[in-house]
Amino acid sequence: MASPLTRLRVELKNTFTGAGAEPPRWTEELAEGDDVGYFAPDSAVWAVHSSMTPTVGGIRALLLQALHPGAMAGVYAHSDFRDDPLGRLANTIRWIFTVTYGSTDAARDASGWVRRLHEKVTGSYVGADGVEHPYSANDPHLLRWVHLAFTDAFLAAHQRYGLRFPGGADEYVEQWAVAGELMGVSDPPRSVAELRAQLAKYDDELASSDQVQDALVYIKRPPLPRSQRLGYRILFAGAVATLTPRQRELLGLTLPHLGPVRLPVKPAVMLVLGVLKLGLGRQGPSEAAALRRIRRVAGKPHTGSPRSHGPG
């Protein structure tokens, strides 16, 4: 009979990857390739993405992305988030981890695969200005918004709930710009100041809608096993706490409170992240596979550095 810890590990791995007890095959494929990849084990990106804080950052990214009517229209019309919201999560995790831990070829291939999927995601939406606009998931303006939302979300979550990391916030933004370039974003931000400036240019385009509120139902209460529901509610509250007041207002979300007293969120979030680390382990299969590849190619001559490679 499986122990409670074993059952927890299986349930968590199934939630995050859809693969149950065994790691999905794509994680093992990250051991393949002939270079270090875009990010070295001592990079800011590796430090942030190998921690537990992306579980909070991922929720925040979904909330923030939903506020752009163009991005939300594409998800609403072309995604099966109502029937399989965790499947969308697993696909997003696969791309992020492949770019983070994979060889440069693997990162390019994964990004190309996502962009090909985006080719059929087209339609129209009514913007915050009340005017109907066409959209395409590969539109440079929307691609930039998605990249900014991911970068801001993962950084904000780690700054609130994670440990200090090499190079700090500016280093993370600069390094993760590679991911934006791989997805077709020109001149992505390379510092926190640039990130804030580019995000500010979208302020007038953000809006709530019936679609946003419908999506919020699934983001708030995804179909998780009973054992994970309380922990998820805490992580959701932790994500909401990192949003700006205006973002929370547009989403119709508030900080946890008891009457007029605001409840502390961080201690509960830190506890849940600790349980996740216990259940998932200190080193995930993607990171382990990447380290095997890096050890294998160690000593081979290669040009450039993992931090300076471009997607071309």
pLDDT tier at 258, thresholds 50, 70, 90: confident
Q: Domain range holding 130? A: 4-290
**Residue 312 within any structural domain of the chain:** no
**Residue 131 within any structural domain of the chain:** yes
**Residue 133 within any structural domain of the chain:** yes
Domains identified in the chain, total number = 1
How far is the C-alpha of 156 from the C-alpha of 61, rounded, in Å? 10
Q: Which long-range contacts (CB under 8 A, 24 or more apart) does 226-232 make?
A: 227/8, 227/11, 228/11, 228/12, 228/15, 231/272, 231/275, 231/276
Is the separation of the CB atoms in 200 and 153 below 8 Å? no
**Residue 228 within any structural domain of the chain:** yes
**Residue 106 within any structural domain of the chain:** yes
**Residue 259 within any structural domain of the chain:** yes
Determine phi and psi for 174, rounding to 5 degrees. -65, -45
Determine phi and psi for 34, rounding to 5 degrees. -120, 20
**Residue 56 within any structural domain of the chain:** yes
**Residue 305 within any structural domain of the chain:** no
- Amino acid at the residue 86: L
pTM of the predicted model over 0.85: yes
pLDDT reading at 62 higher than 70: yes
pLDDT tier at 293, thresholds 50, 70, 90: very high
- Amino acid at the residue 209: S
How far is the C-alpha of 146 from the C-alpha of 226, rounded, in Å? 31
How far is the C-alpha of 157 from the C-alpha of 60, rounded, in Å? 8
How far is the C-alpha of 191 from the C-alpha of 197, rounded, in Å? 10
Determine phi and psi for 47, rounding to 5 degrees. -60, -45
pLDDT, position 311: 33
